[in-house]
Amino acid sequence: MLSALDKYRHAFLVGLQSNLIYRWNFAVRGFFSLFHLAVVFILWGAAFAGTRSIGGFDLRQTLTYFITLLVLQFFVSAFNEDYQISEEIRNGLINQFLLKPINYFLYRFSIFVAARLVSGALVILPLLVALPFVHDVLTFPFEGWRIALGLPAIFMSAMIQFTIAYCFGMLTFWFLEIQGFVILSMAIEAVLGGQIFPLDLMSADIFAGSMLLPYPYQMYFPAAILTGRFGFEEAIWCLGIQACWVALLVMISRALWARGLRRHTAVGG
Report yes or no: 149 and 235 within 8 Å, Cβ to Cβ. yes
The DSSP output letter for 136 is: T
Residue 173 beta carbon to another protein: minimum distance, rounded to whole angstroms? 17
Residue 57 beta carbon to another protein: minimum distance, rounded to whole angstroms? 10
- Please, which residues bridge with residue 57 across strands? 54
Site string for another protein, 187-226 (x = CB under 8 A): xx-xx----xx---xxx-----------------------
**89-100 CB burial, b ≥16 within 10 A, e <16:** beeeebbeeeee
Query: Could you tell me how many residues make up the chain?
Result: 269
Report yes or no: 228 and 146 within 8 Å, Cβ to Cβ. yes
181 makes contact with another protein (CB under 8 A): yes
Choose among 181, 191, 229: nearest CA to 54.
229
Residue 240 beta carbon to another protein: minimum distance, rounded to whole angstroms? 27
131 makes contact with another protein (CB under 8 A): no
- Please, which residues bridge with residue 54 across strands? 57
Environment class of residue 54 by beta-carbon count within 10 Å: exposed (0-12), middle (13-18) or buried (19+)? middle
Report yes or no: 34 and 129 within 8 Å, Cβ to Cβ. yes
Q: Which one of residues 1, 3, 51, 265 is an interface residue with another protein (CB under 8 A)?
A: 51
Residue 158 beta carbon to another protein: minimum distance, rounded to whole angstroms? 18
Residue 185 beta carbon to another protein: minimum distance, rounded to whole angstroms? 9
Count the site residues for another protein by CB under 8 A.
Answer: 39
Distance CA 99, CA 97 (A): 5
231 makes contact with another protein (CB under 8 A): no
Residue 177 beta carbon to another protein: minimum distance, rounded to whole angstroms? 6
Q: Which one of residues 1, 183, 204, 267 is an interface residue with another protein (CB under 8 A)?
A: 183
38 makes contact with another protein (CB under 8 A): yes
Q: Which one of residues 18, 32, 98, 244 is an interface residue with another protein (CB under 8 A)?
A: 32
Residue 105 beta carbon to another protein: minimum distance, rounded to whole angstroms? 23
Report yes or no: 195 and 189 within 8 Å, Cβ to Cβ. yes
Contacts (CB under 8 A) with another protein, residues 57-86: 79-80
Q: Which one of residues 4, 5, 17, 45 is an interface residue with another protein (CB under 8 A)?
A: 45
How many other β-carbons are positioned within 10 Å of the β-carbon of residue 9?
11
Nearer to another protein, 194 or 214 (CB): 194
Report yes or no: 40 and 64 within 8 Å, Cβ to Cβ. no
The DSSP output letter for 149 is: H
Footprint on this chain of another protein (rule: CB under 8 A): 22, 24-26, 28-29, 32-33, 35-36, 38-39, 42-43, 45-51, 54-55, 79-80, 177, 180-181, 183-184, 187-188, 190-191, 196-197, 201-203
